[in-house]
Amino acid sequence: MSKIAVIDYDAGNTMSVMNALKFLGYEVTLSNIPEELYKADHVIFPGVGAYADSMNKLREYGLVEPIKEIVAKKTPFLGICLGMQLIFNSSTENAGDLGVSNIEGLGLLDGIISGFKENPDFMKLAYANNANSINEIQDEKQSVSQIKVPHMGWNSLNIQNKDSKLFRGINDGCYVYFVHSFYLNAKNHEDVAATTEYGITFDSAVEHDNIFGCQFHPEKSGDVGMEILKNFCSL
């Protein structure tokens, strides 16, 4: 049975991930000590909260370089929600408040994290000028009145990579659980394992060699989520 390490950097959501993995029967360690993380067969990087604060915590705990080393030695690495976003180059979240154009991430993969409210197409759909017509404008799957920020609740995956290791045995169109206000636009389309529609199309899962990411929460996504976690832990 694989030894799984969950990275602890005060970014929340660790216990639900731990509980899901224990339920599946895995040996799980919660740690921010690099030496313990290096020993794991698989490493999971969860997160809920602000991008800049979380990057500061990673630096405070001395985890930036260890994470890059873990990835470089080809250990399977899974980012969840904010954890997936931190894998990429940068985010615009609160950047203006800090007097910069973007907040630097880990840069393990190429891509930018942006806010739904920063996207004109999303704003046009979600906040139509004519309130009387708001319920008449229809997206393919959702009415305008249902599209809010944060994107919270169940939504479907459009699996892009039919050879995906993460989604092995998972049906296209399956539903998983989301909670987020910012989304990924990956630079390289080949890194995108799944997309999701929510006013706009965004990249909801990635897969590149030993690096995996889910914008959704597999640990909160029922049987489908458990199968995704098992797929990752069996690599």
Q: Give 207-229 pLDDT, tens digit per residue.
A: 999 999 999 999 999 999 999 99
Question: How much is the pLDDT for 145?
Answer: 45
* pLDDT band for position 101 (cuts 50, 70, 90): confident
* pLDDT band for position 98 (cuts 50, 70, 90): confident
The b-or-e profile of 142-151 (16+ CB within 10 A means b, else e) is: eebeebebeb
Show Cβ contacts of residue 189 under 8 Å, excluding neighbours closer than 6 positions.
160
Angle at alpha carbon of residue 32, lines to 179 and 100, rounded to 5°: 55
Answer yes or no: 151 catalytic.
Answer: no
pLDDT at 107 over 60: yes
Question: How much is the pLDDT for 97?
Answer: 80
What are the C-alpha distances in Å from 152 to residues 32, 119, 198? Answer: 29, 18, 10
Answer yes or no: 189 catalytic.
Answer: no
DSSP of 105-120, one letter per residue? Answer: ---SS-EEEEEGGG-H
Q: What is the pLDDT of residues 142-179, one digit of tens each?
A: 444 468 899 999 999 999 998 999 999 999 999 999 99
CATH code matching the domain that covers 3-97+111-233, chosen among 3.40.50.880, 3.40.50.10540, 3.90.1150.10, 3.30.559.10: 3.40.50.880
Question: How much is the pLDDT for 103?
Answer: 95
* pLDDT band for position 58 (cuts 50, 70, 90): very high
pLDDT at 127 over 80: no
How many angstroms separate the first and last alpha carbons of the chain?
11
Question: How much is the pLDDT for 138?
Answer: 43
Q: What is the pLDDT of residues 178-198, one digit of tens each?
A: 999 999 999 999 999 999 999
- Identify the active-site residue in 93, 207, 219, 227: 219
How far is it, in rounded angstroms, from Cα 86 to Cα 52? 9
At 21 the three-state DSSP class reads helix
- Identify the active-site residue in 81, 174, 214, 233: 81
Alpha helices in 4-162 (DSSP H): 14-23, 34-38, 51-60, 64-72, 82-86, 120-126
pLDDT at 201 over 80: yes
Answer yes or no: 217 catalytic.
Answer: yes
How far is it, in rounded angstroms, from Cα 227 to Cα 222? 9
How far is it, in rounded angstroms, from Cα 160 to Cα 186? 13
Stronger pLDDT, 202 or 162, i.e. the higher one? 202
Cβ atoms of 216 and 124 closer than 8 Å: no
pLDDT at 102 over 80: yes
How much is the mean pLDDT over the chain? 91
Q: What is the pLDDT of residues 6-44, one digit of tens each?
A: 999 998 789 999 999 999 999 999 999 999 999 999 999
How far is it, in rounded angstroms, from Cα 111 to Cα 171? 26
Question: How much is the pLDDT for 128?
Answer: 59
- Identify the active-site residue in 42, 151, 180, 217: 217
Stronger pLDDT, 133 or 215, i.e. the higher one? 215
